[in-house]
Chain A
Amino acid sequence: MIKMHELLHGLAIKKHATPGEIAPLIGTSEDEAVSLLDQAAKSGRAIAKDGKYVLTPLAHVALHYDYSRRCAELRDSVAFLAAYENFERINVELKTLITRWQTLDTAGTRLPNDHSNRDYDLRIIDQLGQLNERAEVLLGRFAGVLPRFAYYRTRLLAALEQAESGNIQWVSSPTIESYHTLWFELHEDLLRLLGRLRSEA
């Protein structure tokens, strides 16, 4: 049943996910993800459409109330909480960096970045790489408590390397597993586990 909780948790983070997308996120094999999703669909907790799954509204609510019981130990982990506090600080920097990626100052006016200035883009990607090095340290600490967090480390690096290769949509495009998409899912993951509200100052 622990696995089922994790599966539902994974579906809450990644909506319209295939078994292949959910499996690495919750740290299980694709075969097991298929069988868990099948169970979830049969018991009315998830709905399948075109091989992709979403939680039912009721499962959403049930999941929400399940966290405090399932995550009690985690919520007492000093190491995990300390890493989380650090994560929130880096999160502010990440959001500012992504905003600078999307908008830029042109002769005193803020305009959408049309990515015609390669030097500007490279500088931001360089700073994203700097930030990622610090994030990797934190992800190592999260993974020390919850091993599945190693997933984010691998995927964030892959997105960064795509961006560094010149595929710039991998910085913040919301329709692919871009750096920002993954980061945001990571943040959602943490908020749910720890029962925190998103604070968007």
Chain B
Amino acid sequence: MITLNGAYVPDKALVGGKAWSIASMSALGLNVPPAFVITTRACMDYFSAGKIDGPLVQEIESGIAWLEDQTGKRFGGGPRPLLVSVRSGAAVSMPGMMDTVLNLGMTDQTEAQLAAEWNDAAFARDVHRRFLELYAKIVLRVDAVRFEPDAPPAAWREAIAAASGVPVPTDVRHQLLRAISAVFDSWNSARARRYRKHQGISNDLGTAVTVQSMVFGNLDHRSGTGVLFSRNPLTGEKQPFGEYLPRAQGEEIVSGSHTPGPLEVMSENVSDAMQELLRCADSLERFHRDVQDIEFTVERGRLYFLQTRSAKRAPYAAVRIAEAMVKEGHIDSDEALRRVSPDQIRLLLMPWLAEGAAANAPILARGEGASPGIASGVVVLEADTAEARAKSGDHVVLARATTSPNDLHGMIAAKATITERGGTTSHAAVVARALGKPCVVGCGVDALMGLSGKRVTVDGAAGLIYAGELETEIRREETEPLLSQLLAWGIERAPIRVLADAPTASPVLDLDLLANAEKPEAIAEALESLPPGGWVRGAIFSTSDAAVQAALRAGASVIVTYPRLPALLVAVQYQPAKN
């Protein structure tokens, strides 16, 4: 057992990823809810003993004693009961490991004490219910036990016992030991074993268990919960951006049951915590050299950091942030090229409707936008027709009632797909997104068949189908300032040359002439005939990561494609397989 007190950052192999990141935050001086970790070594002892033995029980006890000391609360007792979360953490994250149990430490008695402490009996009851639900689902592995909402917790426990055959312990220490055993046991779940076997990971590494005290953001007006991005992840502006929900728990933001407000609310309610949050966000960003997405909770005015990680970001923001970080001296241009994905560039290079272009265009059909982008073409109703007409150079839009596997080649050939039936999770939507093509679904029964032969423009984000070919605008990688900077770095750093055009006389393996160029096998086969240092050409190299990687493996020295930036990024980010 190791207490994560920030004095040092323990070995990840011993404590697992979650405990390691808690320790790292503590070591940076961030206020993290107190936690201890039962190491992977204890896990292996558990397997050889077949149970949690006396010495381990002692260690867990001293961990709990430390949490009690740090928080001034008591586990399983009043006046201020301690609740904890229990989570698994192997050195390498893998499928099949146990999910997190929250609010462990709940009994009828502690519920009453928390109701008094919080002055909110309904919330205490709700926390009790959430604990029992998670315990049943995760520790006892029973799905969907029905809880009578107005029944007392004793009835909920009975329902769980009836479904699982095992009672929920009413002693908090038994709850904790059961949860810890369940984490250890999940190391040997069928899925985890299969994964390790397939990946060649040893069965002897074991998992750690992190036990962390819970904090609550809903106790009074000086409590709340939120998310802070150290820069704006939608625009890339160097300005903290976030959301704060006073008097709320984190789950309420995630579930969307409450709409959070802007950060200003936080500076009004808890300005000290806000100042500390901004200061820490800046040091976290400097430490990780990347934009951080920080989850936090304020409990009675005191700020707690729950999690920090690199922030997801919109495509334009990704480019802007990467370049700003180079200018600010956090990273070099090589790293900037690794921070932007080829897909993000492809999204940025997609056309959009020119200002005012749609103002007078009749709308022929509307549905749900399932895959963003703008495309124009003639409407055809059959996949085979779409393929044939595309081959002869026409731009087509494939319209179907719904799509089946038989329509795939038509979707590949078409500029966009539109369907009468289906939602944003339908097959057409999934395939269109995977192909990166605009798609509108659910336009209504018989809404599209009459469009056959008409020229239309599809707006895949707005879910609209306009009459006619509307004017579009596009970014150019060589003229748009942020993109041209990235392009220059890419040309300098990529392990292969990428040209927009080839001198006509140069011998080039032209994949544009290949049937089935979208099939990885077809590309691999064609590249077999490439002489060392040969040139390859094809639109596929700007749209497919795999094609560029195959060209690199085949020893090509030049790729001819346009736009160039996606291929350059793939080449920079490519790491050849070790064997």
Contacts and interface: CB of A to CB of B under 8 A. Distances in A.
Given A15-B409, A184-B405, A200-B427, A164 B234 contact: no
B96 A112 contact: no
Interface string A178-201: 001100110010000000001011
Given A174-B435, A198-B404, A96 B425 contact: yes
> Which of A109, A111, A114, A130 counts the most B-chain CB atoms under 10 A from its CB?
A114
Given A116-B341, A175-B518, A198-B402, A122 B198 contact: no
B557 interface: no
A185 B191 CA distance: 24
B313 interface: yes
A117 interface: yes
A21 to B, nearest CB: 11
Contacts of A24: none
Interface stretch (A32-40, A78-86, A144-152, A165-173): A165-173
Contacts of A16: 409
Interface in A99-147: 99, 102-104, 106-109, 111-112, 114-117, 119-120, 122, 125-126, 129-130, 133
Nearest to B425: A95
A62 to B, nearest CB: 16
A188 B518 contact: no
Nearest to A111: B314
A67 to B, nearest CB: 15
B546 A98 contact: no
Contacts of B515: 50
Given A50-B515, A174-B431, A106 B314 contact: yes
A12 interface: yes
Contacts, number: 124
Contacts of A115: 341, 343
Contacts of B518: 175
B309 A119 contact: yes
A58 interface: no
Interface residues of A, number: 49
A130 B234 contact: no
Interface residue tally on B, bucketed by range: 35 or more
A172 B341 contact: no
A153 interface: no
B233 A106 contact: yes
A111 B412 CA distance: 22
B505 interface: no
A186 to B, nearest CB: 10
Given A15-B406, A119-B309, A188-B405, A114 B341 contact: yes
A13 interface: yes
Interface string B440-471: 01000000000000000000000000000000
Interface stretch (B24-32, B167-175, B416-424, B528-536): B416-424
Contact of B312 (A15, A117, A184): A117
A97 B372 CA distance: 19
B56 interface: no
B343 A102 contact: no
Given A133-B191, A198-B404, A107 B234 contact: yes
B425 A98 contact: yes
A188 B93 CA distance: 35
B96 A106 contact: no
A95 B426 contact: yes
A112 B427 contact: no
A19 B241 CA distance: 56
A61 to B, nearest CB: 13
B343 A112 contact: yes
A164 B198 contact: yes
A9 interface: no
A133 B343 CA distance: 31
A125 to B, nearest CB: 6
Contacts of B434: 102, 172-174, 180
B241 A175 contact: no
B430 interface: yes
B198 A165 contact: yes
8 contacts: A99-B424, A102-B430, A107-B234, A108-B243, A125-B95, A175-B412, A175-B518, A181-B405
Given A116-B341, A175-B412, A200-B426, 16 more contacts: A13-B405, A98-B430, A99-B430, A106-B314, A107-B229, A111-B315, A112-B343, A114-B318, A115-B343, A117-B312, A119-B93, A119-B309, A161-B194, A164-B199, A175-B520, A200-B422
Interface of B: 93, 95-97, 190-191, 194-195, 198-199, 229, 232-234, 241, 243, 309-310, 312-315, 318, 341, 343-344, 347, 372, 402, 404-406, 408-409, 411-412, 419, 421-427, 429-431, 433-436, 441, 515, 518-520, 546
The 3 closest A-B pairs by CB, nearest first: A200-B422, A95-B425, A200-B426
